[in-house]
């Protein structure tokens, strides 16, 4: 049975509990990171820890552990679970408090580390590609809740995901308040046009994905031209290739959007190249 780390102690999965008065549960008041394990090693742990503390600072949450302690807690939990390939969910909640929104009523923030298996897209979609729709749910306005904060309130993404699933798709494309392409419900998006790799900028109201950054670095290392520019649905429809990146998804092709084939309607050569390059670095 898997072990869950809560505030310095390991618990069997069935015994891992927090208070029902925790504001992470009551109001989504907390932050998290999803992290991958490859070959017993944690992928880009420093980058994930840095992003966790950036999210914490944004919402005025003080984690009870320093960065080095948090890093070691993650490594210790991976070791305790003897996991070679899997997924880590690192969570920091505001802690238990009385009913009401005021975070000042909370005490004792909770750090929770879950190490388990990850549910990937079925293998056929990595070979044949995904179909997506454009969701009617737009991405949160950055001045309402910044998409750069990985908060426990994911309802915006969930509603778009539900819409996509009900349309028979595994993912849905989300636009920002200007009608520009932002990201999908759990993944960043890339397009290829005339050999140039394009992706929305951070200013479009997206999460700065760890896998996104890794793929951009790989592409530039292979001397591809990469542009972080404003994109519209027209750019998606007219692209030669399209793919998504994310901790769980890794690199996965998209071959149709809103019923329109993208490019040839099959995963393109640059998508395949970058997926292979990404697999190389995570297996090194």
Residues with active-site annotation:
150
Q: What is the CA radius of gyration of the chain?
A: 19
Tokens 């994109």 correspond to what residue? 231
Assess contact for 262 and 256: CB atoms under 8 A.
yes
How far is residue 114's CA from residue 5's CA, in Å, rounded to a whole number? 7
Torsion of CA 52, 69, 73, 10, to 10 degrees: -120
How far is residue 200's CA from residue 188's CA, in Å, rounded to a whole number? 8
Q: Which letter does DSSP use for residue 141 in this model?
A: P
Q: Output the six-digit token pair for 125.
A: 């979609």
Assess contact for 91 and 152: CB atoms under 8 A.
yes
Q: Output the six-digit token pair for 196.
A: 């140039």
Cα→Cα distances 11→1, 81, 264, Å: 10, 11, 50
How far is residue 153's CA from residue 248's CA, in Å, rounded to a whole number? 19
Provide φ and ψ at 62, rounded to 5°: -100, 105
Please name which of 176, 183, 187, 166 lies closest in space to residue 245, comparing C-alpha atoms. Answer: 187
Longest dimension (CA), the chain: 57
Provide φ and ψ at 275, rounded to 5°: -65, -45
Provide φ and ψ at 155, rounded to 5°: -65, -35
């Amino acid at each position: 049975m898997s072990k869950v780390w809560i505030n310095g102690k390991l618990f069997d999965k069935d015994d891992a509990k927090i208070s029902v008065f925790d504001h992470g549960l009551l109001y989504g008041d907390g932050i998290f990171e999803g992290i991958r394990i490859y070959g017993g090693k944690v992928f880009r742990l420093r980058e994930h820890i840095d992003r966790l503390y950036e999210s914490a600072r944004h919402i005025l949450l003080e984690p009870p552990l320093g960065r080095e302690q948090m890093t070691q807690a993650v490594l210790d939990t991976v070791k305790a679970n003897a996991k070679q390939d899997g997924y880590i969910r690192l969570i920091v909640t505001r802690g238990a408090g009385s009913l009401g929104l005021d975070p000042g009523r909370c005490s004792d923030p909770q750090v929770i580390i879950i190490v388990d298996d990850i549910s990937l897209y079925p293998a056929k979609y990595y070979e044949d590609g995904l179909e997506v729709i454009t969701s009617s749910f737009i991405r949160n306005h950055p001045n309402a809740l910044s998409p750069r904060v990985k908060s426990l309130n994911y309802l915006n993404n969930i509603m778009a995901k539900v819409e996509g699933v009900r349309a028979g798709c595994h993912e849905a494309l989300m636009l920002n308040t200007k009608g520009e392409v932002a990201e999908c419900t759990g993944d960043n998006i890339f397009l290829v046009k005339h050999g140039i790799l394009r992706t929305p900028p951070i200013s479009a109201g997206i999460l700065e994905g760890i896998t996104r950054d890794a793929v951009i670095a790989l592409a530039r290392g292979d001397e591809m031209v990469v542009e972080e520019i404003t994109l519209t649905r027209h750019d998606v429809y007219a692209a030669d290739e399209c793919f998504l990146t994310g901790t769980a998804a890794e690199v996965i092709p998209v071959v149709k959007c809103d019923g329109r084939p993208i490019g040839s309607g099959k995963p393109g050569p640059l998508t395949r190249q970058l997926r292979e390059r990404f697999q190389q670095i995570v297996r090194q």
